[in-house]
Amino acid sequence: MGEPKFSRPKFDTPPHPWKKARIEEEHLIQANHGLKNMREIWKAKSQLRRHRRQAMRLIGMIDTTEGHGMREKDDLLRSLHHKGLISKEASLDDILSLNAEDILNRRLQAQVYYKGLACSLKQARQLVTHGHICIGDQKVTIPSYPVNRDEEEVIQYHPSSDLNDPEHDIRKAIDGRREMAEYAADEEQVDPEATKPFADEVAEAAAAAPSADDGGEA
């Protein structure tokens, strides 16, 4: 039962902690998503198992086209769509195709990076924890905060953050990286010789820029 005053973990740890293949996979995910520790991955996998368990139970029901089964199915699909995990036209089978990285991509840290507010996922984590990011008018300092569809459009720099200044060194490095990514996306065939000087310039600016610690906390 455990100690009543301490909450139980909301995620499951690996049943076989020393499996080489799993460890290598998790290290790769950790590096790709700029995660601080493996617990972030275990939480995502536990959440994924809950969603899959619900979907498989509903798929196994005789009829989900009416009554309680239909309402439960619609509630699950609506909830996961609101969380940004599936499309509006998705079915229960689409839930089974989700993976842990789909859930990790909904974290505030990842959304800050995907919106072009940071040069890297590690920098995105730093900006969030130091109070440079807000959702709407609310400052959020938790990198693992799950961002839903309504919130992802209002992620921005906090009004008191120094990064609102376009001339800030970190802001210029971030804007340069975003412009380079947009240019590469617009061109189907990008000449490496044409983009390398610009890429080198952006890399130098990012290396010379001070860390978020020096940019001033919000």
**Cα gap 171→123, rounded to integer Å:** 12
Same domain, residue pair 67 and 158: no
Kindly state whether residue 24 falls inside one of the protein's structural domains.
Answer: yes
Residue where one domain finishes, among candidates 104, 121, 151: 104
Domain assignment present for residue 213? The answer is no
Whether 217 is in a domain gets the answer no
CA 160 to chain centre: 24
Please list the pLDDT of the chain residue by residue as tens digits (218 residues). 456 666 666 777 888 878 899 999 999 999 999 998 899 999 999 999 999 999 999 988 867 677 788 899 999 999 999 999 999 999 999 999 999 999 999 999 999 999 999 999 999 999 999 999 999 999 999 999 999 999 999 999 999 999 999 999 999 888 888 777 665 655 554 444 445 555 566 556 556 656 555 554 44
CB 177, CB 195: distance < 8 Å: no
Indicate which CATH number applies to the domain containing 186. 3.10.290
Model's pTM, two decimal places?
0.75
Number of domains in the chain: 2
Asked whether residue 14 is domain-assigned, the answer is: no
Q: Is residue 3 part of a domain?
A: no
Residue 94's pLDDT is 94
Whole-number Å distance between alpha carbons of 131 and 186: 33
Quote the CA–CA distance of 139 and 218 in Å, as a whole number.
9
Is 6 a domain residue? no
63: Cα separation from own chain's centroid = 35
- Sheet of 155-157, strand order: 138-139, 133-135, 155-157
Q: Do residues 139 and 133 make contact, with C-beta atoms less than 8 angstroms apart?
A: yes
Residue 132 lies in a domain: yes
Q: Are 151 and 136 in contact (CB under 8 A)?
A: yes
Range of the domain at 50: 20-104
Picking from 70, 104, 138, the residue at the C-terminal end of a domain is 104
In a domain, 167, yes or no: yes
Domain match, 58 and 46 both = yes
Instruction: Quote the pLDDT of residue 191.
Output: 47
pLDDT at residue 194, as a whole number: 46
* DSSP state at residue 107: B
pLDDT at 67: 78
By C-alpha distance, which of 123, 125, 94 is closest to 107?
125
Q: What is the pLDDT of residue 192?
A: 47
Domain-ending residue, one of 104, 138, 171: 104
